[in-house]
Amino acid sequence: MEQSNPSPGDLNEVLERHGRDPSRLLQVLREIQEIHGWIAPESIDRLADELNLPRARVEGVIGFYSFLHAEPVGQYRLLFSDNITDRMLGNQDLIEYLCNKLWLERGHVSEDGLVSVDTTSCTGLCDQGPAMLANGWAIPRLTRERLDAIVELVLQKLPVTLWPAELFMIEDNIRHSHILLANAMQPGDALRAAIAQVCVPGSAVEAAANERSWREGIPSVELCAPLATLEEIKRSNLRGRGGAGFTTGLKWEACRNAPGGEDNRTRYVVCNADEGEPGTFKDRVLLTTKADLLFEGMTLCAYAINAKQGFLYLRGEYRYLLEPLNAILQRRRAANLLGADILGQAGFDFDIEIHLGAGDYVCGEESALIESLEGKRGIPRNRPPYPVTHGYLQRPTTVNNVETFCAAALVGLHGGDWYRGIGTAKSAGTKILSVSGDCARPGIYEYPFGVSVRQVLEDCGAENTLAVQISGPSGVCIGADEFDRRIAFEDLATAGAFMVFDESRDMFEVAHNFAHFFAHESCGFCTPCRVGTAMLQATMDKIAAGHGTQYDLAEIDQLNRILLQSAHCGLGHTACNPTLDTLKRFRPTYERRLKSHDFEPAFDLDGALATARRMTGRDDAGAHLSTETES
């Protein structure tokens, strides 16, 4: 990636590719940055002009996304993943080593404009960290030797796309599979099964009859098949795997029942592949190894809810998956599994497009994701209305996690009864866990719901385990006395992260890292979260520096109450979870850092004024203050 100024030709080509559509602004900006390394003021002017958008809107979008830059950030931008698991694997030493080798300071661009080194939130490679992104391309398993090789490549000014492929080799690490990871379904199997369904007595037939007015003349068996598919999804008791656990069949039904425009087909299917929760990487593996299953699930959803267009929202950190996934989509189009009249079913038209994110955790929240899909800043919307009625471009939209769509495809193939026979009474099917941290075999584990934490620890080779962080920073931290608890919606609900900490770890440090994560990722839209996450970070920094008091610990509780009551989205609601969980279970690790007396302000006013006092020759703090008072 050259740090260059835009040529009118480049910009024109990108704009043409996106039909000069303002809702493609994020994709256009990403592509321009991929060519030039940054987005120059002239590009911003031209984009605003050509897309008929206020300049401030274009600047606002660039400013929102951490992977977009309105200033040069170096020809090579090296971003270390800074999740707690990367830290446990020594990323801080490696950052220092690399900065020393390149003669630069962390967070700054080298004087010749060649390179910068900084950190980013979790890159989804916790099973093979420490990891980094080099101009957006993921590099796992960093060591000093691998960094030496990277320094050589940077100094030779070789484009990242020409660096040795071996550097970018990412493993799937599937350790334990069950129905989903083990399935041997051929592309199209689930769709054929869905299309072949015949009318069943009961609600599906009745519902189909009600639809007759808008599809007059089509035999009832065809009317019935999408509804029968919907019934199977409902019967399966499948619940969303992205965190909230909403019942998938009900979501699809609500979307299908919402008015879909003049043709009643203007609905959207959106796959949430943002996977930003630190410690979660199962969607990465599903996208790599089960993309056909995912696309099959999305197509099945389109069939059931009567939609024409789908989007896969792929997190920016998984940029390297874009071309392989597009190739699979292309293959599916050629096999008539996407496009017009899919598998010969008249009127069953559906296609999928991939949108790349640009590095913001909050964009995983479904309404923020939709904003981002529309080319805007990823700020969560007010809800209601919900995306099922007012989603992408204010049309009915079903948003589901990658794993949910994969599971839906299996339901389409084997039926709802089969699926709900797996797992527990309240949690049907299987759950894929992303296991990382202190264990011999980090990687991907799929179990029927109901598996105990102890079983997973045994399987992954964890020893002397002190704690497990379930479902990432926004989830729950449990200690050894709770290892018989079960992974299930009725006990430990999880989006998938399973981070293991052994007895050598200090759980304060874990919570400290997570407090920084939330403060960094708060989108800043609402004051309670913007200020609250910053205050939490400042309090944890203060405790880490040995200046904390019992008063500060009590304040965290108060902060949590405020965030729960007044934050706009789930990020703010969960920001205090790791601190409160570790405080409850591992309080001594906080207390041994505290000062004995009661209160010390987090902001040192006297210290902050010291420079001004020195500059004005008024060195004595007391004298200074009394002078101020007197005058």
Q: Are 159 and 174 in contact (CB under 8 A)?
A: no
Contacts with ligand SF4, 372-411, as mask; x by CB under 6 A: --------x-------------------------------
Residues 561-600 that bind ligand SF4 (CB under 6 A): 567-569, 571-572
Helix (H, G, I), strand (E, B) or coil at 477: strand
Stretch that binds ligand SF4, among 186-194, 216-224, 410-418, 525-533 (CB under 6 A): 525-533
Stretch that binds ligand FMN, among 110-118, 531-539, 544-552, 568-576 (CB under 6 A): 568-576
Stretch that binds ligand FMN, among 97-105, 200-208, 275-283, 579-587 (CB under 6 A): 275-283
Residue from 249, 276, 316, 472 touching ligand FMN (CB under 6 A): that is 276
Residue from 294, 529, 536, 540 touching ligand SF4 (CB under 6 A): that is 529
With binding defined as CB under 6 A, does residue 570 bind ligand FMN?
Answer: yes
With binding defined as CB under 6 A, does residue 369 bind ligand SF4?
Answer: no
366 binds, among ligand SF4, ligand FMN, none (CB under 5 to 8 A by kind): ligand FMN
Q: How far is the CB of 577 from ligand FMN (least distance, A)?
A: 12
Given the complex with ligand FMN, which of 91 and 272 has the nearer CB atom? Answer: 272
568 binds, among ligand SF4, ligand FMN, none (CB under 5 to 8 A by kind): ligand SF4
444 has which bridge partners?
A: 174, 434
**102: nearest Cα among 38, 152, 159:** 152
Q: Are strands 132-134 and 137-139 parallel, antiparallel or unpaired?
A: antiparallel
Stretch (H or E) spanning 353: strand 351-356
Residue from 526, 540, 556, 576 touching ligand SF4 (CB under 6 A): that is 526
Residue from 124, 129, 240, 396 touching ligand FMN (CB under 6 A): that is 240
With binding defined as CB under 6 A, does residue 479 bind ligand FMN?
Answer: no
Q: CA torsion sign, 243 to 248 to 254 to 255?
A: positive
With binding defined as CB under 6 A, does residue 275 bind ligand FMN?
Answer: yes
Query: DSSP character for 486?
Result: B
Q: How far is the CB of 37 from ligand SF4 (least distance, A)?
A: 28
With binding defined as CB under 6 A, does residue 398 bind ligand FMN?
Answer: no
Residue from 97, 137, 168, 246 touching ligand FMN (CB under 6 A): that is 246
Q: Are 496 and 433 in contact (CB under 8 A)?
A: yes
Q: CA torsion sign, 10 to 15 to 18 to 19?
A: negative
With binding defined as CB under 6 A, does residue 524 bind ligand SF4?
Answer: yes
| CA 602 from centre of chain | 31
Cα Rg of the chain, angstroms:
26
309 binds, among ligand SF4, ligand FMN, none (CB under 5 to 8 A by kind): none
**499: nearest Cα among 491, 511, 488, 490:** 511
Residue from 33, 272, 494, 539 touching ligand FMN (CB under 6 A): that is 272
With binding defined as CB under 6 A, does residue 243 bind ligand FMN?
Answer: yes
Q: How far is the CB of 368 from ligand FMN (least distance, A)?
A: 8
DSSP 296-321: HHHHHHHHHHT-SEEEEEE-GGGGGG
The whole-angstrom separation of Cα 209 and Cα 498 is 47
With binding defined as CB under 6 A, does residue 88 bind ligand SF4?
Answer: no
Residues 348-387 that bind ligand FMN (CB under 6 A): 362, 364-366
What Å distances lie between residue 573 and 39, 210, 567, 576, 579, CA to CA? 34, 42, 6, 8, 13
Q: How many CB atoms lie within 10 A of CB 8?
A: 10
With binding defined as CB under 6 A, does residue 195 bind ligand SF4?
Answer: no
Q: What are phi and psi of 492, to 5 degrees?
A: -105, 95
The whole-angstrom separation of Cα 502 and Cα 524 is 35
Token pair in block for residue 124: 């989804």
278 binds, among ligand SF4, ligand FMN, none (CB under 5 to 8 A by kind): none
Count of residues engaged in binding ligand FMN, rule: CB under 6 A: 22
Given the complex with ligand SF4, which of 282 and 568 has the nearer CB atom? Answer: 568
Q: Which residue's structure tokens are 């990487």?
A: 281
The whole-angstrom separation of Cα 387 and Cα 224 is 25
The whole-angstrom separation of Cα 50 and Cα 62 is 17
Q: How far is the CB of 523 from ligand SF4 (least distance, A)?
A: 3
Given the complex with ligand FMN, which of 74 and 387 has the nearer CB atom? Answer: 387
Given the complex with ligand FMN, which of 46 and 241 has the nearer CB atom? Answer: 241
What Å distances lie between residue 503 and 87, 291, 482, 500, CA to CA? 16, 38, 15, 10
Given the complex with ligand FMN, which of 136 and 364 has the nearer CB atom? Answer: 364
267 binds, among ligand SF4, ligand FMN, none (CB under 5 to 8 A by kind): none
Token pair in block for residue 483: 């290892």
Q: How far is the CB of 532 from ligand SF4 (least distance, A)?
A: 8
Residue from 122, 356, 362, 487 touching ligand SF4 (CB under 6 A): that is 362
Amino acid code (one letter) for 139:
I
Count of residues engaged in binding ligand SF4, rule: CB under 6 A: 14
Given the complex with ligand FMN, which of 39 and 497 has the nearer CB atom? Answer: 497
Q: Residues with Cβ < 8 Å from 336, sequence gap 6 or more?
A: 342, 343, 344
Q: Residues with Cβ < 8 Å from 340, sequence gap 6 or more?
A: 349
The whole-angstrom separation of Cα 97 and Cα 140 is 17
Token pair in block for residue 419: 């699926």
The whole-angstrom separation of Cα 520 and Cα 427 is 34
With binding defined as CB under 6 A, does residue 370 bind ligand SF4?
Answer: no
530 binds, among ligand SF4, ligand FMN, none (CB under 5 to 8 A by kind): ligand SF4
Residues in contact with ligand FMN by the rule CB under 6 A = 240-244, 246, 272, 274-277, 362, 364-366, 399-401, 404, 569-571
Residues in contact with ligand SF4 by the rule CB under 6 A = 362, 380, 522-526, 529-530, 567-569, 571-572
